[in-house]
Structure 1
């Protein structure tokens, strides 16, 4: 299923205005603007989630987030929430498509699909999904700047409006720092930290994002977090102490541009580009 952005009827437009959940939604009726889709069946929603999961993988490829077989993105199945869809082991992000996704349970068993599951991905993501039933999607990759920043073992500072989106909405995890998570015990130790935040910096490992809303939101906030890590490292490399955004203004920015909805909305530009330039992802 592909979203379209056709002009709504007058009645639909009025309903959209009444249901505004963000200042970025237009108040003027009749304008073209992305709308969160609704689904008539589990099958329809499943297809949607799988397509957006693939798009998130392709977006990670465009960002250069690949590192061998490292990196895993997951989203729950809408009908069977104890199962989750993920990218296949040893397939480059740029080659992930709907047809090679795998469906995995919390024990790491592949229940649909031909490919193996990434062991580290299963240990961490399955633990988070099982520990937090509200978390719908999760992203992790071994990126250059996120991994470098994680070595500092400290939270991101609110030095920009973009970084303020993560203010008081991410954690630094020191448990199992630097040790490859291939034992299930390690996954549950780390999973405890993901409650009520959209991002985590795992010391000596890298960055994670999660979402109770959509894979699109989790994927965009991962891209954003990587950029913020890069920006902070660049600023600190100057040797000058950056000026912080004050706490009240950081919270204002976070509340207005740091929500799951805003992450989803940002991703619509990525989705549109990928549908136009990489239609094979839907195969």
Structure 2
């Protein structure tokens, strides 16, 4: 069993390369009187946010269709590692139940009707009964849902760049505009307890995620993101994977500190975070991928 997880606990020793703060310069910050979606939408038409539902059955089906679309997107992005990786989406009516993917089905084949409903105690209570859910997935996701009532969806997969950066046991730095989505909003589970086959290990991951963070880097393991929709969690996962890729490229180019990286200042990182990383904007960001998957599969994932 791994030692107690502490969010943002970092190992001693120097960074893999040197970073410096930028020179102080004044920048004008606009659109702060508008919502992020309104700010990003120029003109009279605003980009649509998360839809609302009066019928819980329709909302459930909508969630499952978007969940299946995320898996199709993951397959296209190359996030498949055997049968590892899982997503959970909290049921809109029974908040002690979440839906997850069946074990052993390729992400690129998943449909809404394939998903399994499991309660927080581990009992399968609905959906697909032909395959089991992933045991490790249940132990991680159930503990995250217990610890975070605000979270609707949790995404976890063993992606190449997320795994590679995780071995340092460090958060990503604010190197680019896109990294700022995670400014003071992600943590590190700086331990590794093997395959998660105990609820205590799942609870330690949930503890490391913390009460408000959007993401957690699991050392020697991979990435985990959360959101108020599966679309938000999925876009944050994609963005964090790209941030890890960018961090690794920057570290390599820095040649062990021979070239210093210039970080985004706290003021600019905070402003950027506030203006483009809220739940509605992250949901809207993922709709471009949803539409792409719907077009190429002719809506097959909705079945």
Q: Which residue is equivalent to 1:237?
A: 252
Could you tell me how far 1:131 is from its partner in structure 2? 1.7
The separation in 1 between residues aligned to 2:109 and 2:91, in whole angstroms, is 22
Return structure 1 stretches of 4+ with deviation > 4 angstroms.
18-21
**Unaligned 5+ runs, structure 2:** 1-32
Distance 1:25 1:261 in 2: 12
Report deviation, 1:110.
1.6
Partner of residue 281, structure 1: 301
Name the residue aligned to 2:119: 105
Specify the alignment match of 1:13 in structure 2. none
Q: Which residue is equivalent to 2:23?
A: none
- Normalising by structure 2, we get a TM-score of 0.83
SS at match of 1:40: coil
Q: How far, CA to CA, are the matches of 2:90 and 2:137 in structure 1?
A: 14
CA distance in 2, matches of 1:57, 1:247: 34
* Residue-by-residue CA offset, 1:107-166 (whole Å, 9 max, x unaligned): 222212222010110010011101211111100000000001000000100011111211
RMSD of Structure 2 on Structure 1 (CA): 1.7
One of 124, 136, 157 as aligned partner of 2:173: 157
Cα distance per residue 1:52-102 (max 9 Å; x no partner): 111111111111000011000111000111000111111111011011111
Contact 1:178 1:204 in 2 (8 A): no
Aligned residues: 263
Residue in 2 aligned with 1:141? 157
1:252 alignment counterpart: 271
SS at match of 1:210: strand
Tell me if the contact between 2:98 and 2:119 (Cα under 8 Å) persists in the aligned partners: yes
Q: How does 1:122-271 map to 2 (within 5 A)?
A: 122-175=138-191, 177-194=192-209, 195-211=211-227, 213-238=228-253, 239=255, 240-271=259-290
Distance in 1, matches of 2:160 and 2:183, equals 22
Please tell me whether the aligned partners of residues 38 and 46 of structure 2 are also in contact (alpha carbons under 8 angstroms).
Answer: no
Q: Whole-Å Cα distance in 2 between the matches of residues 123 and 35 of structure 1?
A: 31
Distance 1:167 1:64, change over 3 A: same
Instruction: Name the CA shift for 1:132/1:84 in 2 (closer, same or farther; >3 Å).
Output: same
* Cα distance in 1, alignment partners of residues 169 and 40 from structure 2: 37
CA distance in 1, matches of 2:139, 2:195: 10
Alpha-carbon distance in structure 2 between the residues aligned to 1:57 and 1:223: 12
Distance 2:112 2:37 in 1: 31
Aligned to 2:47: 33
Contact 1:178 1:203 in 2 (8 A): no
Question: Which structure would you say has the larger RCO, counting Cα contacts within 8 Å and 6 or more residues apart?
Answer: 2
* Ranges in structure 1 where 5+ consecutive residues have no aligned partner: 1-17
Q: How far apart, in 2, do the equivalents of 1:32 and 1:250 lie?
A: 25
Alpha-carbon distance in structure 2 between the residues aligned to 1:26 and 1:154: 35
Where 1:165 maps in the other structure, the secondary structure is: helix
Q: Report the TM-score when normalising by structure 1.
A: 0.89
Does the 8 A contact of 1:34 with 1:268 survive in 2?
no
